[in-house]
Amino acid sequence: MKIGIVLETKEDEKAWNAFRFGVKALGDDHTVRTFLLGEAVECEGVTGEPYDVAEQMKNFLEGGGQILACGTCLRSRNMEGSETCPVSTMQDLLDLVVWADRVVNF
């Protein structure tokens, strides 16, 4: 199954669970793409115990997942995309929704 995850928060426990879900889905042979929207574009900097979001993001990418980050949301925070979270557009989000068999929102 193709699963799209739309993440709209940087709140550590919720973001951690979103990526943990993605890692599990990848491990069960699903294809997963995640789109970071709003404050979620800041997730790459959320580290620490007990919810190390950056570590879960790393695990997600190593498992074959893809992460996209809203360019407008990045720019509004004076941030740039990264190798982990490339700058993406609303067209990319629409493409993810059309591509996915299921979309989960966190």
Domains of the chain: 2-105 (3.40.1260.10)
Q: What was the pLDDT predicted at 92?
A: 98
Say whether pLDDT at 7 is over 90: yes
Task: Say which residue the tokens 């809203």 belong to.
Answer: 70
Of the pLDDT bands very low, low, confident and very high (cuts 50, 70, 90), residue 93 is very high
**Mind giving me the DSSP string for the chain?**
-EEEEEE----HHHHHHHHHHHHHHHHTT-EEEEEE-GGGGGGGG---SS--HHHHHHHHHHTT-EEEEEHHHHHHTT----SSS-EE-HHHHHHHHHH-SEEEE-
What is this structure's pTM? 0.94
50-88 pLDDT, tens per residue? Answer: 999 999 999 999 999 999 999 999 999 999 988 888 999
Q: What was the pLDDT predicted at 9?
A: 97
Q: What is the mean pLDDT of the chain?
A: 96
Q: Can you tell me the mean pLDDT for 19-34?
A: 98
